[in-house]
Amino acid sequence: MIATMKNDQDARYSVVELCLALGVSRSGFYDHEQKPDCERRREDGVLAQKISLLFLEGRRTYGSRRIQKGLLREGIQCGKKRIVRLMRDQELEVIQKRAFRPKTPLKAATINRLLQIA
């Protein structure tokens, strides 16, 4: 938490001030910073790469459900909420389709015929 705050507030607060505000020792902060990533974080890193690959293969139109099905086809079972979180962390946003609007105008004869029916 302090590490993310340190990155967000880099110019405003020092590590000492952040540790004091949150009641954490400086040595504890630096010890925690040196720890290797846990297994879940390593898995998330690999999964995030596969998610971004599927997302780009789908031309930025694949949402979490389609990506989950794509991962299942590859033999990777993963929850939808985890996929949503990893997509949000990578700032992967689906391109929404536009509403259909006909491009050709109706002819006057067609409009008159439709008005007579109604």
Per-residue CA distances from 96 to 37, 52, 60, 67 (Å): 35, 17, 9, 16
Residues 44 and 28 in one domain: no
Residues 18 and 43 in one domain: no
Is 6 among the domain residues? yes
**Interval 61-82: pLDDT, tens:** 999 999 999 999 999 999 999 9
Residue 91 in tokens: 């700032």
pLDDT of amino acid 4: 61
**Interval 96-114: pLDDT, tens:** 888 887 777 767 777 777 7
Residues 44 and 75 in one domain: yes
Is 108 among the domain residues? no
**Interval 88-100: pLDDT, tens:** 999 999 998 888 8
**Interval 20-54: pLDDT, tens:** 998 999 999 899 889 998 999 999 999 999 999 99
Residues 47 and 6 in one domain: no
* Total domain count, the chain: 2
CA 91 – CA 102 distance, rounded (Å) = 33
- C-alpha angle 80-82-88 in degrees, rounded to nearest 5: 105
Residues 59 and 28 in one domain: no
Are 54 and 70 contacting, i.e. CB atoms less than 8 angstroms apart? Answer: yes
Residues 49 and 76 in one domain: yes
- Tell me which residue range forms the domain holding 17: 2-34
Residue 36 in tokens: 């290797």
Residues 47 and 78 in one domain: yes
Q: Which pTM value belongs to this model?
A: 0.65
Overall residue count recorded for the chain in this entry: 118
Amino acid at 80: K
